[in-house]
Structure 1
Amino acid sequence: MSLAAPVLLSLIGKKMADDTLGPVELASFLNAQTKNVQAAIPSGLGALLSTIPGLGLIGSLSGKLSTMANPVPQVRATPTASTLSYNNDSRRKNSNRWLPWLLLLLGALAMFFVLRSCRNDEKTSLSATTDSLGADMGNMASDVAATVDSGGSQVEVTVDSAGEALSDATANLGTFFKRKLPSGYELNIPEFGIENNLVKFIEDTTKPVDKTTWFNFDRLLFDTGKETLKPSSQEQLTNIAEILQAFPQVELKLGGYTDNTGSVELNQKLSQERADAVKAQLVKLGIDGSRLDAEGYGQQHPVASNDTAEGRAQNRRIAVRVTKK
């Protein structure tokens, strides 16, 4: 279409120059060609164009041009008969020569405007659909973010509560100090931790072995709901293994305990698995398995209330009892 418009204007300009036409004469000429233009348009295209806002150029072409075709008669010098006859014949032939091209260009222009109107409608519809979809996706993202934030906050509260309980328990263990065993191995242990209490009980000849004296591990951690020991538990397991190496006559019983969360059967099973896991680790560290016994007690024998996170953390434990020294 960028080529069609200049060509069309060039042809019209040439027509005006050749026939010495002014604006009014040109309008009269185009008005006279209305029926020819309509006849040249493919069947149905003229009616289609007349339904598009701003493009009813074919259906209303005759009416619009007729309003311009009332020129004021102009007085011109009358040429000789021979000259007038020659000019009219030549101009009529020229008009007939470029008229088909004019009709073709008008049809092409009409088709261009039809296609452009359709594309604009599609773009408008697509833009509206895209905006609506974008708004829906934005709302969904906001809802998901709010849900994640809410869930994350709840998890953080739970973790912080358990972490505070563990931190408080560690703080109550007292100051760490160096204690040398009979084997020469030096322990770095807290004053009130299981290692120091166990060694003192073993070395105190006035305290007999009984079934009520238990010592709780204080730095032993498992994965939640599993018997898998966390890597941070390795230090305390190593200390207990070194104590057993330093006192080869000592035998221990390992007891596993849980809080009251969940069923009694599952808690019993989990406590047994955790006690067995600790025994297996001590055997790996060089302790003879015959010196160790392991039993799970489930949620029995709580040492704190299960109504608080701190109390439940204390009840989830592994304890040892000296069975021989």
Structure 2
Amino acid sequence: MSFDLLESAKNLFNNNVISQASSQLGESEGGIQKALGGIIPTIFAGLLNKAGSGNAGGLLDMIKGVAGDASPSAITGALQSGGGGLLAKGGDLLRQLFGDKIGSIAGSLASFAGIKESSANTLLQTAAPAALGVAGQHAIQNNLSADGFVSYLNTQKDKILGAIPGGFNLAGILGLASLGDLGKKLGNIASGIGSGAANAANATVNTVKQGGGSRWLWSLLLILVAIILLWYLMKGCGGGKHDNAAATDSVTTSQLADSVNMNANGSASTPTTTTETRESIQVTLPDGSVLQAYKGGIEDQVVNFLKDDTRKAGKDVWFDFDNLNFKTGSAELTEDSKQQVGNIAAIMKAFPKAKIKIGGYTDRTGDSTLNLKLSGQRAEAVVTALKKLNTDVNQLLGAEGYGSQFAKAAATAPDEERKKDRHISVSIREK
């Protein structure tokens, strides 16, 4: 199973989220980060514990219901507004997982991380919808059944339980002798699911044997049994949707002739160029550095814009990345995309007064809610990549996903039309 539940949830809590939490709660960033390192696996441990106690169907409905909360922008928005509905939702989720033990968990986490208990409680309530929403997104995208959900959790339990901080007696709080008991309980449930499928297959075989069917009918039914078992195993693991690591989603047009800029209202401006083939050029920056780029590409456009004093920055000024790709269905940048991100980082360094915002867009295919979240995650991934390249954080005004709300082409349109709606863009807000 290639989808790592714990790491995917941790990735939501990027530097921007940690900084925002630190500012709102009056805690050090180190304390916030340490607390989250215990909070996220604790939330998932609660999910494992409940799944091992039955009612997987109810848990599946619960996590699907918060799939829309799994984004950094939702977390920072809640922190900036004082929590509001998200904190109430988080409190309800925690009660479903831990009952009256939430106070003990918050107190132990506070002692572990060296932060106030009130801060630990707020972080728990904020993190619960986001972390569980990651599991919900995975369940929706892979059409997991209740049994398939339990089987998937069983593949993740060792990493989740291994991430619980040492010295934090979660097992004792939950009334267990050890976290290993929790893992065994879930493992027994998952084994029972597999045994049930095998027993059903064996019952079918025995029925055919007793019926004394002809040889050809016997062979046919054996093949059908094999198909049923294969289908069950694939369903339990989500059908392998994320296993093709080599596949990529293009979020920009591959030809400059297809490129359009999207303004804040989603209307398309005139294409910036009609060149059918891409001409390599060198873009020279004010600090003397030289970028390898394409004529009419984002580097060429942005640098010319920043140098032109007659053109004003603002919310309606957007430029599309033209060589940026992600692995299919994920917010992970492909290796060949890093050059263009690096070029943008170099431009920001050369123009220290410039400030930008990153926007993400998708076409109309698929679930609109998931598209919105994926576009936000991809925009956040670009901001994170820029920070890793030492871009001044004061120049980065955040990221936002717009999903398919500004898409022009219908979901049934040819891909040549729909690909114009898939892009990551840079808005220059100050220069």
Calculate the TM-score normalised by the size of structure 2.
Answer: 0.37
Structure showing greater Rg: 1
The alignment's TM-score, normalised by the length of structure 1, stands at 0.48
